[in-house]
Amino acid sequence: MANETTTSPVEVRLVPALDATSTDVLDADAIVIATPEHFGSMAGATKHFFEEIWHDCLDRTRGKPWQLMVKAGNDGTGTIESVQRLVTGQGWTEFRPPLLVVGDVEDSHLEDAVELGGTLALSLDAGIA
């Protein structure tokens, strides 16, 4: 049996919120936003991301699939709502409900994040996300 080499049709780019530009968003097939909860809302870096991309992406990225992951110290509600409010303004399409981790991050949470990312990637490849 010959060795088989498989290649993934998915390219994952990790761009820190403070470095992300509208070009990153425009070029992406989907956006995953991962943010900690700070003072009951999204991190300042996440807010900076939205400020930087807002006008260039407005009306040019409607329908883009997106996913939210939140690491919360409290309940994460304010963080989820504040991000969803901004994403609604951009017209992006939520892929799945937010992945919320309250308290310490455990291996099972990391496994959930990997599974969610893989599901998003497969859905994009199949044209259903």
Residue-wise pLDDT tens digits, 63-75: 999 999 999 998 9
64 touches 28 (CB < 8 A)? yes
**What angle (nearest 5°) sits at the alpha carbon of residue 58, between those of residues 98 and 80?**
20
Residue 57 lies in a domain: yes
* CA dihedral angle for residue 66, residue 62, residue 54, residue 10, rounded to 10 degrees: 40
Percentage, residues of the chain above pLDDT 90: 88
Q: What is the residue range of 75's domain?
A: 22-126
80 touches 98 (CB < 8 A)? yes
pTM of the model: 0.90
Residue 84 lies in a domain: yes
Token digits of residue 118: 């893989």
Domain count, the chain: 1
Residue 50 lies in a domain: yes
